[in-house]
Amino acid sequence: MPKYVYDFTEGNKDLKDLLGGKGANLAEMTNLGLPVPPGFTITSAACRHFLEHGSVPDGLDAEIERYLEALEREMGKRLGQPDDPLLVSVRSGAKFSMPGMMETVLNIGLNDESVHGLAERSGNERFAWDSYRRLIQMFGKTVLDIEGDLFEDAIDAAKEAKGVDNDVDLDAEDFRALVGTYKDIVREHAGREFPTEPREQMNLAVKAVFGSWNAPRAILYRRQERIPADLGTAVNIVAMVFGNLGMDSGTGVAFTRDPATGQQGIYGDYLQNAQGEDVVAGVRSTVPLTDLEEIDKASYDELLQIMEKLENHYRDLCDIEFTIESGKLWMLQTRVGKRTAAAAFRIAFQLVDQGLIDEDEAVRRVTGEQLAQLMFPRFGDTAGAEKLTTGMGASPGAAVGKAVFTSRRAVELAGDGEDVILLRRETSPDDLDGMIAARGILTSRGGKTSHAAVVARGMGKTCVCGAEELEIDVKARQANGPGNVTIKEGDVLSIDGSSGAVYLGEVAVVDSPVVRYFEGDEAQDELVEAVDRVMSHADERRRLAVRANADNGEDAARARRFGAQGIGLCRTEHMFLGERRQYVEDLILAETKDDRRAALDALEPLQKQDFKEIFEAMDGLPVTIRLIDPPLHEFLPDLTDLTVKVATGHASDDDERLLEAVQRLHEQNPMLGLRGVRLGVVIPGLFAMQVRAIAEATAELKEAGRDPHAEIMIPLVGAVQELEIVREEATRILAEIGVEALIGTMIELPRAALTAGQIAEAAQFFSFGTNDLTQTTWGFSRDDVESAFFGRYLELGIFGVSPFETLDVDGVGRLVRIAVEEGRRTRPDLKLGICGEHGGDPESVHFFHDAGLDYVSCSPFRIPVARLEAGRAAIESNETS
């Protein structure tokens, strides 16, 4: 039979999977000889059984009974003993800290008899009745699902009747009366009497803590923190120590360093004559922990010694909960403390300098997401700001500007020096100019993988998507929000791309010194110095190269400053927007070979100049250029708009020709239609024009003494024959001009991954397009599914995080591994990279390292994140560059 219960003397800090963080650390402190109340832990395995089967495992009750009897022998009294009761707390404790998300019940064992014994033994009748009313209140709320405000209203009424403001001003008779009131609340709202049998209290509390794992707030927290849903929580049964015995007792929390800044010092709060939940609930104002030195110097000095011992033992910032009972200090919990991103970086190398950890461990202690938080501008104090609504934080940062509703207007106002926020129901490629001009983007539709979100992240623009409470009327140039608020063009908005908050008016923005550091600013403060030390060591250790997704010279130059080692994806279709759209229309409407040739000839010098700017910015580094990928109809006017124009007699001859072309090119599912390599096969001269522009740009720069390294990437290949046709033409053009370039393909279809061995015969490199590979593997339309049902899928645990945010390792990841293995079996020197959004996702970077890729590519602003995570991945697998 499995062992489901462990005494604190039987565990240690390395058993978090089984005992949860709280139980493992209580055991560790016990082993260190610190003053920990005795107790035992019921494992998370028992919780998982309870959640799956609706009942506790066979034998658990008997095992708990044995450990409870041992605790009673150690304490010299029985649970709920009438004349001298043993009281216990029942506390949750999952593997990962989830502060406040699950339940705790204190003072288990009190009833109408034992409350008198507690009063007599303690000599403090007020304390006994206060403890009893706390039990009924916590038990009623936690175990019996009674609304907590009912109990709070009752104690507020008692204080009001007595004319006092604080709980400490209520006496024994007041609490005795409250016990009766609380019992009435239980009877009325739970349909039963408050249970007075101590063992029944404990059993019900244990089951309630198990059940709290799936409470809505716990589910939401796990989803936010990406904590797996199947872990379950352990339960800790701990002998009660009392901070509410009088003014020589109290409870507090302490941190061994400032969790906000990382500075060393004495940080925490203390509350006299109180139990632990009083500090969290804020029922009375706490005092700074330093005040404890005057209140109880002996306990204060002992606490400082313990704090130092714990930090040195855990080699990290520790978060501590303690209680003082009549001058005796007891440790109730410790854990590696949560901290801000800035504190994480500072503390990492403080501990290196103290000799507690090495540089590898320092890099392990920080994350790419923490670095991202430090890089984006952010709002300062929002306490006085007027929040309009909340959408989905799609691209981090803080942006303030005047509301505009069209890309044209965004460009106009930005050209006049105005900061603008572009409001759209959803964005399209036509909005690119406006998105570039805007300080931030706000949409009422879409999610984190919508066009607005993907493009905004690529540009480092702040973006909030899916603000569904906004009704955006582009024609009227206004948006209607909750509370009958109307936003007109020119009204100032502030948007937070991290939280998704949208504010009316201007909120002050704080610049990021970390971005200035990556941009080359030599001025350094303590935080920037810590970031620099982390990044330097991560770069030394990483095996994966990091490239950028960049489509113009400016982005390429920025990416290089951020540490990019080349470009992994240059999307040439972005070069066909704006004023150049007319040339694409001419190409589509061409009726003869000469017309088509003329249109291509007009585009070629523009393409060549684009490529030269990018090659110059990345001189000496590889630049992977993807030939045009999206369906051509995306460069034409909207079908509905043209149809209405023609039907109402407002169309020109060109409009009618455009309508005919749009109808001819219209597809039911363009994502799987005429795009990618299929365009190069079907439309003569299109890919040839692009290859010639690449080759001529390369030749001209070489002649000028520069060192361009072009890589030509063919998109959406599903069969080696497609690649062979395009490669043959590209090779001929390169030879004519006298330059060399690698020719490879994107692996973004399941068939391409499964036939990678064949495709590698014609490809010199693979770049995994994980955005489309995820779509085609799952059968998802990225633009539709997130708003349609992803929320429900996340809620049900079908997946823990969107597969467009973090790579689906089991499905898409398996295809990647197959392609890597079979591609390199055919061509051992095959270069392998990834250029989808996943290239900047921390968790996905670790997978790509493990899968054996040579590089990841991501948006310029995610490059430092990818560099850091590549270093962490190498350290974790004990590899060096």
Whole-angstrom Cα distance, residue 561 to residue 203?
61
- Contact call for residues 805 and 794 (beta carbons, < 8 A): no
Which residues, other chains included, contact 523 with Cβ-Cβ below 8 Å and sequence gap of 6+? 513, 516
Taking alpha carbons only, the member of 754, 742, 735, 730 closest to residue 816 is 754
Whole-angstrom Cα distance, residue 69 to residue 350?
46
Bridge partner residues of 404 (DSSP): 422
- Contact call for residues 813 and 838 (beta carbons, < 8 A): no
- Contact call for residues 54 and 48 (beta carbons, < 8 A): no
Active-site choice (570, 835, 838, 849): 835
Q: How would you classify the pairing of strands 440-443 and 462-465?
A: parallel
Which residues, other chains included, contact 629 with Cβ-Cβ below 8 Å and sequence gap of 6+? 571, 573, 675, 676, 679, 715, 716
DSSP, collapsed to helix, strand or coil, labels residue 530 as helix
Task: For the beta carbon of residue 387, count every other beta carbon within 10 angstroms.
Answer: 15
Whole-angstrom Cα distance, residue 117 to residue 198?
14
Task: For the beta carbon of residue 417, count every other beta carbon within 10 angstroms.
Answer: 6
Any idea of the CA torsion for 400, 403, 409, 410, to the nearest 10 degrees?
20
Whole-angstrom Cα distance, residue 871 to residue 845?
10
Task: For the beta carbon of residue 488, count every other beta carbon within 10 angstroms.
Answer: 12
Active site residue 537: no
Whole-angstrom Cα distance, residue 14 to residue 24?
7
Q: CB under 8 Å, gap of 24 or more: what pairs does 667-676 form?
A: 667/631, 667/633, 670/630, 670/631, 670/633, 670/634, 671/772, 671/775, 671/781, 672/776, 673/631, 674/631, 674/632, 675/629, 675/630, 675/631, 675/715, 675/716, 676/629, 676/714, 676/715, 676/716, 676/717, 676/746
Whole-angstrom Cα distance, residue 292 to residue 477?
60
Nearest 5°: phi and psi at 303? -65, -45
Active-site choice (47, 49, 451, 858): 451
Which residues, other chains included, contact 613 with Cβ-Cβ below 8 Å and sequence gap of 6+? 552, 553, 556
Sign of CA dihedral 300, 305, 307, 310: negative
Could you say which DSSP state residue 692 is in? H
Whole-angstrom Cα distance, residue 87 to residue 37?
12
Which residues, other chains included, contact 451 with Cβ-Cβ below 8 Å and sequence gap of 6+? 426, 427, 428, 429, 783
Task: For the beta carbon of residue 508, count every other beta carbon within 10 angstroms.
Answer: 12
Q: Which residue has the tokens 């603008």?
A: 420
- Contact call for residues 295 and 270 (beta carbons, < 8 A): yes
Active site residue 835: yes
How many residues in total does the chain contain?
A: 881
Which residues, other chains included, contact 654 with Cβ-Cβ below 8 Å and sequence gap of 6+? none
Angle between helices 125-142 and 172-190 (to 10 degrees): 20
Q: What are the Cα distances from residue 536, in Å, to 50, 267, 526, 556, 867? A: 48, 31, 15, 22, 10
Active site amino acids? 451, 835
